Amino acid sequence: MTRAVAAHREATGVERVFRDVYGQAVATLVRVFGDITLAEDAVQEAFIVASDRWRSDGIPPNPAGWIVTTARNRAIDDLRRSTRGRELHEQLGAVASTPQGVGAEDPGEDGPVSDDQLRLIFTCCHPALRTEHQVALTLRLLGGLSVDEVARSFLVSESAMAKRLVRAKYKIKAAKIPYRVPADAELPDRLRSVLSVVYLIYNSGLDDPERASLRSEAIRLARALVELMPDEPEAAGLLALMLLSESRVLARTAAGALVLLRDQDRTKWDRTMIEEGHAIVRACIRRDQPGPFQLQSAIQAVHCEADSFEATDWPQIVALYDHLFSVMPTPVVALNRAIAIGEIEGPGAALTALDAIAPDLDNYHLMHAARGTTLRRLGQQDAAKAAFERAARLATSEADRRFLAQQIEELAEDGAPLTE
């Protein structure tokens, strides 16, 4: 995103519209013009125009349509001025001259998806691209995150992420990756990366009230994937996982700080979402084809059905984590299993499990936060303080940083000797 675009967004109420419709507008322009860079530039120019015009005229009734139409016209003007774009301009003549051109289905698009954003997700998640490029590009194009925001999600510099995005777009162009959903027979093999990207988009908006639209968009895309592939239980598992997580959003923070599960006000949980999530999990269980997203949603379902933290079925959660680790043996899964173990066998057992995987997660703030909490339960105040401080230095969200600051303050208030 250019500085000019960022400045205009901050200066006007166009920020909210930008978050809501950026991904939709880019996806539509990519389908029409077949050029990611052209689509991005045109949409950003449209938002600059909008920020000036809407300041005096107000936001139109259909801001998404206004942005798409303005961006399309800008792109066509650019193509007219470009020698290399003359042929494409002639091909797009009919599209540009009819009001239904943008947003209508391309005559050659006969695949199972009519949603531009889903089509672009499958393009971004093409196997010719590296996984980290798939995720970064989708967050940028469909999530509407700035290059800096995507960079922070990956814990890399903004310049490194900018180069990564350029390489990804060049790969799409050089490899002539088509802007379409793969054929039905190819869909199952391409599904995992798409689901992972959708889930990361959801998580990008989890602890930031200003990004609530990202969560809503991720859930909408997950519903569309379930409709597209009703026989794929992992798509249903992802939808259930996000619904069950979303059901607790209002209780996750207080005064801008994270609230741990044990301390959350469960009367704030959305029971309608929980019921829908539980119904999907039960349907997945009946299919008996467990995968990572289904198992994660089952774990969340156990948490959500408990009336209190103490009433949680921890043995069942540990059993589910054991199953999850067998199909997805990652340090993060082991971390969550260790925390659950601590609720059954005590903090000593949890600390042993955490220390075993700590080297693999030394740059992950939740590892150090978990160690801090466990050490505090064991009465090791100095070590707990050091762990919380390390976690605070690594934390990326303001809610996490405030929570960790609270933990450090509470340790000081306990009156125990703390080393500096």
The pLDDT value given to residue 89: 61
pLDDT above 50: residue 308: yes
DSSP-assigned beta bridge partners for residue 95: none
List, for residues 246-274, the tens digit of each pLDDT value. Answer: 999 999 988 888 899 999 999 999 999 99
Token pair 């959350």 is at which residue? 264
Residue 385: what are its φ and ψ, rounded to 5°?
Answer: -60, -45
Per-residue pLDDT of 83-141, as tens digits, reads 555 566 666 655 544 443 333 333 333 344 447 887 888 888 888 888 788 878 888 88
Instruction: Give the model's pLDDT for residue 109.
Output: 38
Binning pLDDT at 50, 70 and 90, where does residue 10 land? Answer: very low
Cα–Cα nearest to 404, from 357, 372, 360: 372
Confidence at residue 155, expressed as pLDDT on a 0 to 100 scale: 65
Write out pLDDT tens, residues 360-388. 999 999 999 999 999 999 999 999 999 99
pLDDT band at 346 (very low <50, low <70, confident <90, very high): very high
Classify residue 121 by burial, with Cβ atoms within 10 Å: 0-12, 13-18, 19+: buried
CB neighbour class for 90 (10 Å; exposed up to 12, middle 13-18, buried from 19): exposed
**pLDDT greater at residue 56 or residue 162:** 162
415: confidence class by pLDDT, cuts 50, 70, 90: low
What is the pLDDT at residue 119? 84
Q: How confident is the model at residue 5 (pLDDT cuts 50, 70, 90)?
A: low
Cβ-based neighbours of 209, under 8 Å, separated by 6 or more: none
Lowest mean pLDDT among 65-74, 234-243, 292-301, 309-318: 65-74
HSE value, Cβ hemisphere, 13 Å, CA-based, for 165: 25
| Region 297-312 average pLDDT | 96
Of the segments 35-44, 80-89, 137-146, which one has the largest average pLDDT value? Answer: 35-44
CB neighbours (10 Å) of residue 73?
15
At 1 the pLDDT is: 52
* Type of residue found at 376: R
Q: Distance between CA atoms of 195 and 205, rounded to whole angstroms?
A: 16
Q: How many CB atoms lie within 10 A of CB 313?
A: 13
**Token match 């080297």: residue?**
359
What gap in Å lies between CA 217 and CA 52, rounded to an integer? 27
- H-helix or E-strand containing 262? none
Instruction: Using the predicted structure, report yes or no on whether residue 65 has a pLDDT greater than 60.
Output: yes
| Best mean pLDDT range from 13-22, 168-177, 290-299 | 290-299
pLDDT score at 153 = 65
Listed in sequence order, the residues at least 6 apart from 312 whose beta carbon sits closer than 8 Å to its beta carbon are 302, 303, 306, 343
Residue 165's pLDDT is 92
Tens-place pLDDT, residues 203-212 = 877 866 666 7
* Other residues' Cβ atoms within 10 Å of the Cβ of residue 91: 10
pLDDT of 331 over the 50 cut:
yes
Tokens of 239: 């939808």
User: Is 80 exceeded by the pLDDT of residue 4?
Assistant: no
> What is the pLDDT at residue 111?
41
pLDDT for residue 237 is more than 70: yes
Mean pLDDT across the chain:
84
Binned at pLDDT 50, 70 and 90, residue 13 comes out as low
Tokens found for residue 329: 């043996």
User: d(Cα 229, Cα 113) in Å, to the nearest integer?
Assistant: 10
